[in-house]
Amino acid sequence: MLSPDGRTMYLSCQEGHIYAFDLVGGVSRRVTNDRGPKFSHYLHGVSPDGQNLAYIGLSTANGDVVTNVYTIPAVGGEDVQITDDGYPDDGSEFSPDGQWIYFNSERGSNLPGHAQLFRVPVAGGAPEQLTFDERVNWFPHPSPAGGRLVYVSFPPGTLGHPENVDVIVRVLEEDGTSRDLMHLFGGQGTINVPSWSPDGRRIAFVSYPIGDAMSGSLSD
C-alpha cells in the first residue's frame, strides 16, 4: 500500500516481514523486527501522516495461533502492541485523524468465527464494538473524511474469511446503521486493505465474476 505522499510502497512478504520500497529511488528496506520464525507481520494500514504502520502480528508459538494489533514506525523501530489477548483480530487500519485503529475481532461473541467490527485508541485502551449483527464482518475501512466505514460481510457461521463465497460489501454510517452497497461473489481479497478514493466517492474492490455483476452507489 502507498504512503500518503505517494513516494513509498509498503508490502507484506511471504517470509513474514513488511518492506518499504522507494518508488523514486528503487531501493527497498525491511521495516519490521525479527521476532522469530513463528511470528509473521501482515500490513493493513499507514497512518495519515505516513509516520506509522498498523499490522496484524500472527504468532504460532506453542502450537496456538494468536493474532493481535500492532503499530511500528514506518522508518523502523520499536513495535507497539495495541491488543493483547487471545481473541482473533485482523484488518487493522488507522482513522483519518490518526487517533483510532479500526479492526475486526471475534471478541464480541462466543460463536467461533463470528467477527464484528471494533475500534481502539492508538494510545491504547478498551476496544469499542461498532457492529452487532448475525453476519460475519471483516476489514473495516474508514472513509477519508471519517464518519463512514466500508467493510465486507460474510454469511452467518463463516469461519475466517474464505474466498469464493457470496458476500456483501456494506457501509456503516455515522449513526450506526448499515446498508448494503453491493452483493458479489468474492471473499478473501475482495476488500482487505484501504480502498476509498481520495474524495470519498468511490471504493475499489475485487470480485470473482460468475454470472451478472451487481453494483451499488455511495451517494446518499
Judged against a pLDDT cut of 70, whether residue 3 lies above it is answered with yes
In angstroms, the CA 9 to CA 25 distance is 12
* Residues 165 and 186: beta-carbon distance below 8 Å: yes
The C-alpha cell at 51 is: 509516520
Is pTM beyond 0.95? Reply is no
Q: Given this model, what pLDDT does residue 216 score?
A: 47
pLDDT band at 95 (very low <50, low <70, confident <90, very high): very high
Rg (CA), the chain: 17
149: left (phi over 0), alpha (psi -120 to 50) or beta: beta
- The DSSP line for 111-141 is STT--EEEEEETT----EE---SSSEEEEEE
Q: Given this model, what pLDDT does residue 63 score?
A: 82
* Residues 73 and 30: beta-carbon distance below 8 Å: no
Mean pLDDT of 92-121: 96
Q: Given this model, what pLDDT does residue 213 score?
A: 46
Coil vs helix vs strand at 15: coil
Percent of the chain residues topping a pLDDT of 70 = 95
Mean pLDDT of 118-146: 96
CA nearest 83: which of 114, 59, 48, 113?
A: 59
The C-alpha cell at 30 is: 525491511
Write out pLDDT tens, residues 175-195. Answer: 999 999 999 999 999 999 999
Residue 14: how many other CB atoms lie within 10 Å: 6
* Residues 96 and 146: beta-carbon distance below 8 Å: yes
In angstroms, the CA 196 to CA 65 distance is 31
Write out pLDDT tens, residues 64-77. Answer: 899 999 999 999 99
* Residues 92 and 119: beta-carbon distance below 8 Å: no
Judged against a pLDDT cut of 80, whether residue 84 lies above it is answered with yes
